[in-house]
A and B are shown apart, each in its own frame.
Chain A
Amino acid sequence: MICSEFKKLALAEPNSAEPSFIRHSKDCPDCLQYVGEIRQMDTDLSNSLDVAVPSSIMAKIELNQMLIEEEEQGQEASSGFSFNRYAIAASFALALFVSGFMANSFLGGSRDDSLGEDYLALLSGVIEHVDEQPMTPVWSAEKANEAANMHLSNYDGAMKLKFLENLQFTRICPMGKYRGLHASLETDSGSVTFAYIKGDKVDDLLDASYEGYAVRVKPLRDGNLIIVSNTNKALQQADKQLDEAIYWNI
């Protein structure tokens, strides 16, 4: 191998194991220095991009795996039961859709444009997310609460969710700029969907009709609780439970 060939290969693959490349580097000090500079540039470049992996992302990955594994096990264990759970979820989604459609018809509009920008951004983000994400039932309330608490502790170590037997946690929500927890809750007056999103707290509690749903956005701790319901009664009941449940600094 001649020097020009060596330098071409050094730029393309500085750690090449080709025998002629290795032999030439031993025989030619100039080329050895050249490939040394290139390897150093690669090392420096790699080091300049070094970052620590946030512990929260590892916890979320493990949590996602735990949730999906549980779902898989549940499906295998009881396909009939699984069908029922999905049927309930599907019925709920259908009921929300139908009631949303009816409410829209009665209210004569899909959204209230008089809502502030902050509220609209939160509501559209949550509704879009809820519409997109399929229900992922969790098979035990204990696991659901454990999962929710693990997620909340990523926001703040002292933040905990009080054990709720009726909390059917759906899934961790990778919602882009939103970092939230999204779940459904059974009340005496029906199912309610809620999301808790950390940061950018709104100023005041807002009750409104949005896309046919009764919605509430309220500042809570260091974030916002968004409740989406078919009826005001269910919304009130869910809010009461959640207000008691989500707390920190205990």
Chain B
Amino acid sequence: MPDSSNETDNDQVNYDMTDKKRKYALLIEAHSQDLYKYALWLCKDKNMAEDVMQETFLRAWKSLDSLREAKAAKSWLFTIFRREHARQFERKQFDYKDVEHMDTIADANMGYDSRPEAFALRNALVKLPEKYREPLEMQVLGGFSCDDIANMLGISSSSVMTRLFRARKKMRHILGHETMPHLGVVGE
């Protein structure tokens, strides 16, 4: 008897590729939670996160036939999301000075854990330079490997590793876990 507890997200999306509706339903079921979590964090606004997510799934439906491998589904979906987010962000030109200002009330309104230690972690993430923060968000929130992230960002795997190394190093420093800098740099 197979052990279903070992099923991963990709296994869940390991469906009959000819059945578009089933494929789409499984795509939503397997990845909507992670995608929404990523969307809300990136958009910092519930309404915008919902809009971009809706548009992402709409575009996914339209180009679902181009998705050939179930194991690539998540990175494919996140890539669509990132493009759509960039497009809407550019078009709407929101004033992000306000929404980037983090406070515990704003976090609670978005449904985040309101404990001080959770706030400190989010605050540390926000303080990272964007080039370091981006791959860390993708790895921690999306569960992507360095190779996946490299493909999505269009940079080399060694660059991704360098950025992740620096991101975590800075995170630990901000959180007071270690002083900087101790270690050298991976790659680059």
List A residues at the B interface (Cβ < 8 Å): 4, 7-9, 11-14, 37-38, 41-42, 44-54, 56-58, 60-62, 64-65, 68-69, 172, 174, 176-177, 179
User: What are 15 contact pairs spanning A and B, CB under 8 A?
Assistant: A41-B171, A41-B177, A44-B118, A45-B140, A46-B140, A48-B119, A51-B40, A51-B111, A52-B111, A58-B28, A61-B58, A65-B61, A69-B21, A174-B54, A176-B51
Known: A44-B117, A65-B58. 9 other contacts (CB 8 A): A8-B183, A12-B165, A48-B118, A49-B41, A50-B113, A53-B32, A58-B28, A61-B58, A64-B54
Does B33 contact A49, Cβ atoms closer than 8 Å? no
- Residues from chain B with Cβ under 8 Å of A50 in the complex: 37, 112-113
- Residues from chain A with Cβ under 8 Å of B28 in the complex: 58, 61-62
Does B165 contact A11, Cβ atoms closer than 8 Å? yes
Does B186 contact A8, Cβ atoms closer than 8 Å? yes
Give Cα A64 to B96, complex, Å.
29
Does A68 contact B61, Cβ atoms closer than 8 Å? yes
- Residues from chain B with Cβ under 8 Å of A47 in the complex: 113, 118
Does B53 contact A57, Cβ atoms closer than 8 Å? yes
Q: Does B76 contact A (CB under 8 A)?
A: no
Question: What string of 1s and 0s marks CB contacts (under 8 Å) between B82-119 and chain A?
Answer: 00000000001000000000000000001111000111
Interface residues on B, range: 35 or more
- Residues from chain B with Cβ under 8 Å of A52 in the complex: 111
- Closest residue of chain A to B88 (Cβ to Cβ) is A176
- Closest residue of chain B to A61 (Cβ to Cβ) is B57
Which residue, B140, B162, B169, B171, has most C-beta atoms of chain A within 10 A? B140
- Residues from chain A with Cβ under 8 Å of B73 in the complex: none
Give chain B interface residues in 146-175, CB to chain A under 8 Å.
146, 161-162, 164-165, 168-169, 171-172, 175
Question: Contact partner of A46 among B57, B92, B141, CB < 8 A?
Answer: B141
- Residues from chain A with Cβ under 8 Å of B36 in the complex: 51, 53, 57
Does B112 contact A64, Cβ atoms closer than 8 Å? no
Interface of B is mostly: helix
- Residues from chain A with Cβ under 8 Å of B55 in the complex: 174
- Closest residue of chain B to A56 (Cβ to Cβ) is B50
Please name the 10 residue pairs, one residue from A and one from B, whose CB atoms are nearest each other, closest first.
Answer: A48-B118, A12-B161, A174-B51, A12-B165, A51-B111, A11-B168, A11-B165, A48-B121, A53-B36, A12-B164
Does B58 contact A68, Cβ atoms closer than 8 Å? yes
CB distance from A133 to the nearest CB of B (A): 12
Interface of A is mostly: helix
Q: Does B48 contact A (CB under 8 A)?
A: yes
- Residues from chain B with Cβ under 8 Å of A179 in the complex: 47
Does B92 contact A176, Cβ atoms closer than 8 Å? yes
Q: Does B77 contact A (CB under 8 A)?
A: no
Question: Contact partner of A177 among B47, B145, B169, B186, CB < 8 A?
Answer: B47
- Residues from chain A with Cβ under 8 Å of B2 in the complex: none
- Residues from chain B with Cβ under 8 Å of A42 in the complex: 139-140
- Residues from chain B with Cβ under 8 Å of A9 in the complex: 186
Does B165 contact A48, Cβ atoms closer than 8 Å? no
Does A44 contact B186, Cβ atoms closer than 8 Å? no
CB distance from A214 to the nearest CB of B (A): 29
Give Cα A220 to B158, complex, Å.
58
- Residues from chain B with Cβ under 8 Å of A12 in the complex: 146, 161-162, 164-165, 168, 186
CB distance from B103 to the nearest CB of A (A): 15
Q: Does B68 contact A (CB under 8 A)?
A: no
Q: Does B15 contact A (CB under 8 A)?
A: no
Question: Contact partner of A49 among B53, B61, B112, CB < 8 A?
Answer: B112
- Residues from chain A with Cβ under 8 Å of B175 in the complex: 41
